[in-house]
Amino acid sequence: MFTVIQTNQQLVILSGLVLLVIIFLWILQYFVIRYGKKLLAHVMRYWLSFDKSIGLSKRLIVLKNDYPKLYHLFWQRLHIQHFYGLPLTFLLLVMGYTLALFLGLVEDVVTSDSIVAIDYFVSHQMSTLSESSVVNFFIFITSLGSTPITCLVVLLTCIFCWVICQRYIVIGLLIAALGSTVFTFLSKLLFQRARPADILLFEQTNSFPSGHATVTVALYGFIAYMAIRFSHNFIRQVRIAVIAVFFAMVIGLSRIVLNEHYLSDVLGGYLVGTLWLTLAISVTEWLSVRSKINWQIDWLPSHVYLVWLSVVCVLIGTLIYAGVYQFPLLL
């Protein structure tokens, strides 16, 4: 038993990490489902009382009298009842914080900080799995983030939005997909970082940031956002979010296991994807406020069939793409 573990040490560690992530996400899902609504109700109640107490502040009353426009701008940022208040403020803060994290990561990569040493260590460990049977599984997983498959996903999602007469959702979808793709392409040209030496699938583009990780968070994250907004069941919404997070982590892991990217490339892709996902959600919510999108649609059996047909098409397309284009690229 110990001999098997020693000879497959990297595979055992990898399996253990995946198992820990699954356990963590399951526990997180359990607590959110059990206590999420109560916690949110408490937060809302405390925020409303905090909002009211701020309005009675003597300094703010002076500010209101002396600088009414500035006071109005500040006060609007705290309102939780409409999108232009606290929700928009929160989204802008998320975008700003994500951008700051990405710029910090760029600085670490460019200056060869300690994270680069971690990159090389992880890449070396993953190179020992090149002959493992898990490679075939991760080739299929990584194909879900390839350009042809993501184009298919965008096309099917656009068709679905057209069928349910919610065409304005496509604007957010294209912002997430195209915006993140163009940003990643330009970043690769700018940073010119070479891919790992022990790469398994031949790639012509540069390494930083990972396009697969980016599009997974941006595109598939936006589709998960759509599913959450269309669903009115809290438990289902939580499970969709957890599945989306796990899906993004698995695709990012596939890029590392196949030595297509360094760890920092995947982290950078996650941050870029989060940035464009947040922007896409912000625009979509703005369109919703302007009554351009109706999330309260009546789900017909044909809509459900279309969703499952799209999923089947994506899986079949991924199998074909992996078999025809990916496996022959094995070096």
223-252 pLDDT, tens digit each: 999 999 999 888 999 999 999 999 999 999
The whole-number average pLDDT for the span 290-297 is: 88
> Is 330 strand, coil or helix?
strand
Between CA 262 and CA 30 the distance in angstroms is: 33
Which residues face 201 on adjacent strands? 330
> What does the pLDDT read at residue 48?
64
Residue 98 burial (10 A CB sphere; 0-12, 13-18, 19+): buried
Question: How many CB atoms neighbour CB 132 within 10 A?
Answer: 16
Asked if pLDDT for residue 13 goes beyond 90, the answer is: no
Buried/exposed code over 261-298 (b: 16+ C-beta within 10 A; e: otherwise): bbbbbbbbbbbbbbbbbbbbbbbbbbbbeeeebeeeee
- Of the two residues 318 and 39, the one the predictor is more confident about is 318
> 102: which residues sit within 8 A by CB, 6+ positions away?
268, 271, 272, 275
- Of the two residues 216 and 109, the one the predictor is more confident about is 216
Per-residue pLDDT tens digits for 71-119: 666 666 666 666 767 677 888 888 899 999 999 988 888 887 788 888 8
Per-residue pLDDT tens digits for 161-170: 999 989 999 9
Cis peptide before 196 (omega within 30 of 0): no
Between CA 137 and CA 253 the distance in angstroms is: 12
DSSP track, 154-217: HHHHHHHHHHTT-TTHHHHHHIIIIIHHHHHHHHHHHH-PPPPTT-SB---S--SS-HHHHHII
Which residues face 330 on adjacent strands? 201
Asked if pLDDT for residue 4 goes beyond 70, the answer is: no
Give the CA dihedral 48, 51, 53, 57, nearest 10 degrees. -170
Q: Of the candidates 283, 277, 286, which has an alpha carbon nearest to the alpha carbon of residue 94?
A: 277
Q: Give the pLDDT band of residue 203 (cuts 50, 70, 90).
A: confident
DSSP H helical ranges for 83-175: 86-110, 114-127, 134-143, 147-163, 169-174
> Which range is most confident: 59-68, 103-112, 274-283?
274-283
Asked if pLDDT for residue 63 goes beyond 70, the answer is: no
The whole-number average pLDDT for the span 157-183 is: 93
Between CA 139 and CA 330 the distance in angstroms is: 10
Q: Give the pLDDT band of residue 178 (cuts 50, 70, 90).
A: very high
Q: Which pTM value belongs to this model?
A: 0.87
Buried/exposed code over 184-201 (b: 16+ C-beta within 10 A; e: otherwise): beebbeebebebbeebbb
* Residue 314, H or E segment: helix 301-321
Distance from chain centroid for Cα 195? 23
> Taking a C-beta distance cutoff of 8 angstroms, is the pair 218, 277 a contact?
yes
